[in-house]
């Protein structure tokens, strides 16, 4: 079963978007969406060793980064395979430097981290925040669905290398 665990405002916005849009996920019965709002929720998770686990969150906010790191560490200690999908704030946001620190911590504990900076979703300057969030939501959905179809899957080394490159570029653009 594929379990998509949403953390914080960003993760839960993506989860809500997917549910509202009525996306037809292949083999619907094999997906379970879970919202984690605090450390107690992490302890209550019921997971099976053969689950595919995606942790979807934003970094730099009030709770997403901290809980993402805590959940990922807990799951890895229990030998689960975790795929983190994280959104970084816009370069100009005041929490961008906090997001960098959280991403560095996350990459240090999990090699399977995919990073999506919000700035990458700006098709043009006229996009509204809701349009940008919608683009991000669709990209995340497509990414999760692609994993299920076993198409175009990167190796862990590729994912780690890409995450490191995005982090390096993001740091340069924020500073």
Handedness of CA 171, 141, 13, 126 (dihedral sign): positive
Alpha-carbon 17 to chain mean position: 14
Q: Which residue has the higher pLDDT, 155 or 91?
A: 91
Question: Tokens 């090699």 — which residue?
Answer: 111
Q: What angle do CA 115, 120, 124 make, to 5 degrees?
A: 165
Domains (range + CATH), the chain: 2-174 (3.40.50.1440)
| CA torsion through residues 15, 17, 20, 26, sign | negative
pLDDT in tens, 33-53: 889 988 888 888 989 888 889
pTM summary value: 0.84
The pLDDT, as a whole number, for residue 153 is 41
Tens-place pLDDT, residues 75-126: 999 999 899 999 999 888 888 999 999 999 999 999 899 999 888 887 667 7
Q: Which two tokens stand for residue 59?
A: 């970094």
Residue with tokens 């490191």: 164
Q: Is residue 128 within 8 Å of 76, Cβ to Cβ?
A: no
pLDDT at 152 over 60: no
Three-class SS state of 170:
helix
């Amino acid at each position: 079963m594929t379990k998509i665990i949403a953390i914080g405002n960003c993760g839960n916005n993506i989860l809500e978007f997917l549910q509202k849009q009525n996306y037809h996920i292949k083999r619907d019965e094999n997906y379970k969406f879970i919202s984690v709002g605090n450390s107690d929720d992490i302890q209550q998770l019921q997971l099976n060793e053969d689950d595919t686990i995606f942790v979807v969150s934003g970094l730099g906010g009030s709770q997403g980064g901290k809980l993402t790191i805590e959940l990922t560490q807990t799951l890895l200690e229990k030998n689960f395979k975790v795929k983190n999908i994280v959104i970084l704030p816009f370069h100009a946001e005041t929490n961008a430097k906090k997001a960098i620190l959280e991403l560095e911590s996350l990459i240090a504990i999990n090699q399977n981290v995919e990073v999506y900076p919000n700035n990458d979703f700006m098709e043009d300057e006229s996009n509204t925040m809701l349009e940008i969030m919608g683009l991000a939501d669709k990209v995340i959905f497509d990414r999760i669905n692609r994993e299920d179809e076993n198409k175009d899957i990167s190796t862990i080394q590729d994912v780690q290398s890409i995450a490191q490159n995005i982090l390096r570029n993001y740091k340069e653009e924020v500073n």
